[in-house]
Amino acid sequence: MCSSGNQALNDTERSSSNARSPPSSRRPNVRAGALLKLIDVVAGVTARKHAGFSCVTVSVDSVLLLRPIYLGELVHLSTSVNRAWGSSMEVGVRVVKEDPRTGEREYVSHCESRRMPPRHLEEAEPDPNLSPLT
């Protein structure tokens, strides 16, 4: 895996790109578990940035896999905090693949996950200076 960098869109959004290299001339798919791991990592980074501390995954809802991603294609993951409550938040992840030869992009997946602080941080006071964007 080769990361081409992260780009901050604003305080509640992130963008990340990854390249997957094929081991042979065959075009095998990126496994769903590998994709879910990337989704979890970028959602965690977004949640940490929004909350100001690490958050754990409580649940993953509505993972939708529409198209296969082949090794050798670029994978672009965009995240946003969809909702935030007193002690948890919902982070959405949109996955787009790109053919590196043609530059053609295609929407392939999305996922929503619920995040919250670890138990020892649950009693933390909310930040009074934080105002949600609508």
Contact at 8 Å (CB) between 75 and 20? yes
Residue 20 lies in domain: 2-120
27-57 pLDDT, tens per residue? 788 999 999 999 999 999 999 999 888 899 9
Residue 27 lies in a domain: yes
Residue 21 lies in a domain: yes
Of the pLDDT bands very low, low, confident and very high (cuts 50, 70, 90), residue 104 is very high
Q: In terms of C-beta distances under 8 Å and separation of at least 24 residues, what long-range contacts does 98-102 make, across chains too? A: 98/73, 98/74, 99/73, 99/74, 100/19, 100/72, 100/73, 100/74
Residue 89 lies in a domain: yes
Residue 103 lies in a domain: yes
> What CATH number corresponds to the domain at position 100?
3.10.129.10
69-78 pLDDT, tens per residue? 999 999 999 9
Per-residue confidence (pLDDT) for residue 14, from 0 to 100: 73
> What is the model's pTM?
0.70
Residue 19 clears pLDDT 80, i.e. is over it:
no
Contact at 8 Å (CB) between 90 and 83? yes
